[in-house]
């Protein structure tokens, strides 16, 4: 068995996510305590006590998901389960880098909190929206974006075959959704996000994030980590600060990331954090390639205990 951990990004958050884990495991509580001390804030309160609308604010979403993912990871580490490679969607790349010991939990929490704040506060003022277009080729989604002459919209997340996320001004995104349907899209879905993420509109946020990234220690990854920016593995020549700074204003190549993990021999994918979104992407990519893999997700006590039974039965092969 070769294990690949995948970590979710924004859009999967729900109030109270992971609360049963927090209540059952002291290791989970300890991770939240460490993050709280690093930030001087109460992440449990952010995760469990805010309204859904407040949690959906980028500055709150990112730290809540990151902390939950890292808390679950702590349990897996304690049980001696180690991945052979890891990746994350957008925000999730910071979880992957923490998993690979490139960045500490505390430094990761600080930079994630700042990243979310910059993406919220330094985005241009406006009415922004993101939406998933399902059942349409990448090129057709890009074509739909180009057809919008009045307003800003871009294709930004290439998640799997037949699913691309677009981002931009609300009216322009809605127009793309209409055009996509005319071009044959099976479904279009508005996402729970509030900015023109992964577009050039976040240049100011990118520059601010770069300045903060230059202050922290980023070590060489101890296991392969797959980059969003091109779907390839980080190597020792990469400028991690530059990549992570550009990350917030560049499209996410998650389908390519999954393909790279498959090429590394990963046959068991474990999604760590709220939701099953990435698990769905993996299944679709594997179906395209006619590959059978194990796909697990961990987001509560039941799914954690199920994953532990399976993963401990056949340990990772180095």
Give the pLDDT of the chain (318 residues) as one tens digit per residue: 999 999 999 889 999 999 999 999 999 999 999 999 999 999 999 999 999 999 999 999 999 999 999 999 999 999 999 999 999 999 999 999 999 999 999 999 999 999 999 999 999 999 999 999 999 999 999 999 999 999 999 999 999 989 999 999 999 999 999 999 999 999 999 987 778 999 999 999 999 999 999 999 899 999 999 999 999 999 989 999 999 999 999 999 999 999 999 999 999 999 999 999 999 999 999 998 999 999 999 999 999 999 999 998 865 444
Tell me how many domains the chain contains.
Answer: 2
Q: Is 247 a catalytic residue?
A: no
Residues 83 and 107 placed together within one structural domain of the fold: yes
Whole-prediction pTM:
0.93
Residues 44 and 175 placed together within one structural domain of the fold: no
Name 296's Cβ contacts closer than 8 Å, sequence gap at least 6.
268, 269, 270, 271, 279, 303, 306, 307, 310, 311
Catalytic residue among 69, 90, 102, 206: 90
What tokens appear for 42 in the block? 């109460």
318 in any annotated domain: no
Residues 77 and 226 placed together within one structural domain of the fold: yes
Q: What order do you get walking across the sheet with 187-190 strand by strand?
A: 153-160, 163-169, 128-134, 187-190
Catalytic residue among 69, 102, 167, 198: 198
Residues 218 and 112 placed together within one structural domain of the fold: yes
Q: Is 161 a catalytic residue?
A: no
67 in any annotated domain: yes
**Which structural domain range is residue 165 located in?**
128-190
Across the strands, what pairs with 134? 163, 187
């Amino acid at each position: 068995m070769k294990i690949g951990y995948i970590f979710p990004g924004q859009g999967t958050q729900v109030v109270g996510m992971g609360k049963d884990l927090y209540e059952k495991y002291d290791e989970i509580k300890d991770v939240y305590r460490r993050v709280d001390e690093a930030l001087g804030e109460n992440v449990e309160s952010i995760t469990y006590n805010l309204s859904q609308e407040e949690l959906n604010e980028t500055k709150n979403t990112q730290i809540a998901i990151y902390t939950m993912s890292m808390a679950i990871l702590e349990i897996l580490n304690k049980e001696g389960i180690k991945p052979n490679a890891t990746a994350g969607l957008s925000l999730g790349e910071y979880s992957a880098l923490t998993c690979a010991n490139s960045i500490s939990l505390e430094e990761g929490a600080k930079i994630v909190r700042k990243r979310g704040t910059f993406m919220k506060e330094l985005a241009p003022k406006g009415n922004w929206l993101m939406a998933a277009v399902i059942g349409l080729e990448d090129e057709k989604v890009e074509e739909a974006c180009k057809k919008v002459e009045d307003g800003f919209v871009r294709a930004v997340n290439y998640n799997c075959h037949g699913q691309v996320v677009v981002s931009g001004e609300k009216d322009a995104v809605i127009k793309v959704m209409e055009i996509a349907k005319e071009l044959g899209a099976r479904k279009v879905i508005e996402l729970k996000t509030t900015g023109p993420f992964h577009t050039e509109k976040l240049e100011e946020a990118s520059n601010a994030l770069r300045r903060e990234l230059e202050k922290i220690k980023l070590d060489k990854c101890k296991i392969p980590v797959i980059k969003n920016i091109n779907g390839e593995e980080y190597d020792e020549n990469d400028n991690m600060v530059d990549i992570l700074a550009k990350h917030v204003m560049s499209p996410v190549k998650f389908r390519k990331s999954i393909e790279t993990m498959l090429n590394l021999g990963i046959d068991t994918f474990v999604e760590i954090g709220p939701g099953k979104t990435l698990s769905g992407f993996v299944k679709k990519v594997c179906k395209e390639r006619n590959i059978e893999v194990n796909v697990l997700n961990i987001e509560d006590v039941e799914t954690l205990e199920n994953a532990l039974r399976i993963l401990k039965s056949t340990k990772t092969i180095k």
